Structure 1
Amino acid sequence: MFIGHALLAFALATLFADWRGWPARRALALGLVAGSFAAIPDVDMIYTAVALDVGRLNAGTLTQPSVFWDASRAVHRSITHSLLIALAAGPAFGAWAAGTSTSRRWLAVRGIASVFLASLVWAAWLYSGLSGAVVIGTFVVAGLVLARLARTRTGLSGSTVALVATAGLLSHPWGDLVTGDPPRLLYPLDVQVVEQTVLLHADPTIHLLGAFALELSVIWLAAVAVARVADRSPTVLLDPRAAIGVVYGVAAIVLVPPTLDVSYHFVFTILGVGAATGVLAAFPGSVSALAQRLRRGRWGSITGWNPARYFRLSWMDPPRLYAPSVDLDRLLDRYPSPFEAIFAALGAVTIALWSYGVVYVLFVA
């Protein structure tokens, strides 16, 4: 769900800005800021670098996610995933980045925000010890950097950065409810709002497919948001080559049924189907063109590059490296925009997921 956290906030912020009539560039800037803040709660994974037992790593345990997740279980989805922390840190990030001058007014505002954020680190030290202080300290530094970049590079006001930062942080924990240990939504209060993982289905594989579908839906929403602000119709961008994903249903019979504990083989293969489809959409006719060039012993005229001349060696002169020259105008005219490739890849993964699910339910479950 790492990508989904950021893309959900990105999509919602971008669509909101578009609904409010903001220009495309400004709407996308707002979405990028929201998505960036929605991603930083997962900086608590830095604690894994300290807590990971390197002695347990071997050829067998590298395929077991529990070895990695157990090392972070003490702090992951606790401090930085708290709604209370988000409500406190978001406005402080915006206030710290609000002023660009050195006037006493802005220095006072930044000083108050700094003291407030430092108090969060101190509170984490009291409640969770050194590990909590390290995690929340990293969280604060990341938030301050993002807030400053948002203020100086996008032109968003300090109050807007504060609102977007708070909204991004608040949007983060909800996707974690179906993918593992539920986050501590009210940290530091000793109240667990959700006691256990929200099960989408009793069958662990169907539950994983449901969680994957939720993630995929968020990615679709982000892609549609970009298409909307770019004045492109999502329906026009659908590529019939995405139908190739239907063959992935065979994987339900061939592969070991994936679960939340072991899902790498499923995730990598289904994403591979999408990536291959996206490449075919981005470079139409590339496979047939490559075959023709190989048969003729020739390479494309777009680059004017002959691999045999990539290195020119001489007994008299030192080796010389010749970089290919690219005719960018011809390249852009010949190949479509990234929209087609992205939507083709998403379509292929979506069809592959449904195909896998149908075959699994009918013949495996």
Structure 2
Amino acid sequence: MTVHRRPQLPGVRRLARALAVTAAATTALGVTVAGSAQALPGPPAEPIAKKDVKAQVDQLYDEAEQASERYNAAQECQRRLQTEAAALQSQIAGGQEELNRLRQDLGALAGAQYRSGVMNPGVRLMLDSDPAAYLARARALDQATARQNDTLRQVLDRQRRLDQRRDEATAKLAELEEVRRSLAESKSEVRQRLLKAQRLLSSLGAVERARMVADDARAAEQRATRGTDRLDLGDLPPSSGRAAAALAAAVSKIGSPYVYGSTGPRAFDCSGLMYWSWRQAGVTLPRTSQAQAYAGQRISLGEARPGDLVIFYKDMHHVGMYAGGGVVVHAPYPGAQVRYESVNAMPVAGVVRV
């Protein structure tokens, strides 16, 4: 279909929003960033050319996004491990109660046998004044012995299972602690990259920053429209009704800010936009771009239809949604809002049909 392009925002408004988004992203990760070069540690001693600043900021944002996806993955892993560890602890508690009950039964049976004596059954029969009564008691004792043996087997089996659950719980808790360390490291890495990017942006004057933001948005629009004044998404239908709903949800968020770790509805990171959009279609995707790369059927780029996921870069740290006509809708990075972009703007690692 053919869609008129969106009007450009004034440069100053774009700059203000870009800096606000970057500040919001850093604040969300526990960072306080001032808006001036003097308030930031270690500003560059020499002025840097605008093109060099843009290249370095783009690189820092790319590195921050990789760290952010690792952070998202660690968060998901932490939630899973916490759930699994809680389930194991519950199983251990229930197993211990059952084991205690079986041990009590076993003790009662052992006590009954002790009170019955240990004389040879043949001798007891000859000496007993009431052989019939003795035989009845002996049969009961045999049954009790069999029940005792069965209970003993159950005790041993329950103990083995309980020990196994305890080992599993210990391993889960150790893994959880490792994931928490990974979370802290990834969060620190994102924060450092954002601080460096903010420092570089602050080395530019307000006019230069506004122009850089406007140029970036204009370049993205030109890539999506191929330099024309219209956006041609072609006439291929989505692969399914759910894909159509997911695409409509993603397109409805064009203009929303990028914030690391966000899954909407007001701000998104790249995989967060895919996660939120497909949730509106009734489908729960994995949280990260790397996991989303395996969330459906792999197809070639030439087979892509609207609603398919397009995974970018060799390490699959970025994802967008195919909108048709060689265009994706995606959340690029801080300072750039959710937008259309040419699928060729980044190296494609794969296409996934959910």
TM-score band, normalised by the shorter chain?
A: under 0.3
**Normalised by the size of structure 1, how large is the TM-score?**
0.24
Q: Which has the higher contact order (CA 8 A, sep 6+)?
A: 2
